[in-house]
Amino acid sequence: MNSTLEKMKGYNIISVKEERIDAHNSGDLKAYILHLIELGETQLIIDLEKVRFIDSSGLGALLTGYKHAAAKSGKLSLVGCNQQVLAMFELTRLNRVFEIYSDLNEAIETEA
Amino acid sequence: MCNPILQVDVIIPTQTKYLDLIGSIGEHIAKDLDHFSGDREALAYHLNLVLTEATTNAIKHTPPNPKDTVRISIHIKDNELNIKVYDHGLGFDLEAVSLPDLNQPKENGMGLYFIRTLMDSVTYTKQTDGNVLEITKRL
């Protein structure tokens, strides 16, 4: 899973650099998110701007991260979802679980 | 107007790195349909997704064996899209898989939900030499 990690105003921003999140790479994404949470980095923003396809395993990886962050009084939010990716969150009603922002600025300003 | 007959057969090793290939085939087929009045971009995503989920399912239910394969057959005739995914695994009981409770979201179990929700019918048949997940959608 290609991704970058950046710290901004106390938030860990994971930018996914893959067009697809599916069963081939979702395990890596989940492991990476859980690793950060284990290290005490529980304020996470996942940037999905480059992602144009996500399947059930990708949604599951993000949901696992969300639950683990919440269990440690943290938060996992999403930014940069394209229309088709957003439709997946709506189809599963996960848009009611995650805070989904249009971009990083909105996420950081709103969360702060 | 009917779309012309189309038949695509693909055999892949039971490895998830081939999911992109299989999904992309579905996406291309949707984009190249001669006659489709609905949302073509949405159909392209849905076929990508359904093929990805069905193939993942087949790989997951097959014990690891480098020689094992999954066969995917995509057929369009009379504006009906038919997808068959053949595996040689242990199989499962489709009827026993309940719909997920979207108010209590869980990490697993959404793949079949997508297939059932986005397509018109889905069956899973255990055969002596393997199993077949069959999906149909009216175009």
Q: Is residue B50 part of a domain?
A: yes
Write out pLDDT tens, residues B12-65.
Answer: 999 999 999 999 999 999 999 988 889 999 999 999 999 999 999 999 988 888
Question: For residue B15, what are the domain limits?
Answer: 6-138
Q: What is the pLDDT of residues A30-77, one digit of tens each?
A: 999 999 999 999 999 999 999 999 999 999 999 999 999 999 999 999
Residue A29 pLDDT exceeds 90: yes
pLDDT of B80 reads 94
Closest A-chain CA to B50? A55
Q: How many domains does chain B have?
A: 1
- Residue from the list A22, A53, A56 with its beta carbon closest to the beta carbon of B114: A56
| Number of structural domains in chain A | 1
- Pick the more confident residue, B101 or A7: A7
User: Which CATH number fits the domain that encloses residue B39?
Assistant: 3.30.565.10
For residue B45, is it within any domain?
yes
Residue A37 domain boundaries: 3-111
**B111-126 pLDDT tens trace:** 999 999 999 999 999 8
Chain B interface, best mutation among A51, A57, A89, by max B CB count within 10 A: A57
CATH number at residue A77: 3.30.750.24
pLDDT of residue B22: 98
Mean pLDDT, all residues of chain B:
92
Residue B1 lies in a domain: no
Is the pLDDT assigned to residue B10 strictly greater than 90? yes
Whether A112 has a pLDDT exceeding 80, the answer reads: no
Contact across the interface for A93 and B103, Cβ inside 8 Å: yes
Please report whether residue B116 resides in a domain.
yes
Are B52 and A22 in contact by the 8 Å Cβ rule? The answer is yes
**Average pLDDT of every residue of chain A:** 96
CB contact (8 A) between residue A92 and residue B52 = no
Q: Are A53 and A84 in contact (CB under 8 A)?
A: yes
**If 0-12 CB within 10 Å is exposed, 13-18 middle and 19+ buried, where does residue B127 land?**
exposed
Judged against a pLDDT cut of 80, whether residue B1 lies above it is answered with no
User: pLDDT exceeding 70 applies to what percent of chain A?
Assistant: 99
Under 8 Å CB pairs connecting chains A and B tally to 68
Are B19 and A87 inside 8 Å of each other by CB?
no
In angstroms, the CA B37 to CA A111 distance is: 42
pLDDT at B3: 80
Q: Scanning the structure block, which residue is given the tokens 């709506």?
A: A90
| pLDDT > 80? residue A111 | no
The pLDDT of residue B49 is: 98
Q: Does residue B89 form part of some domain? A: yes
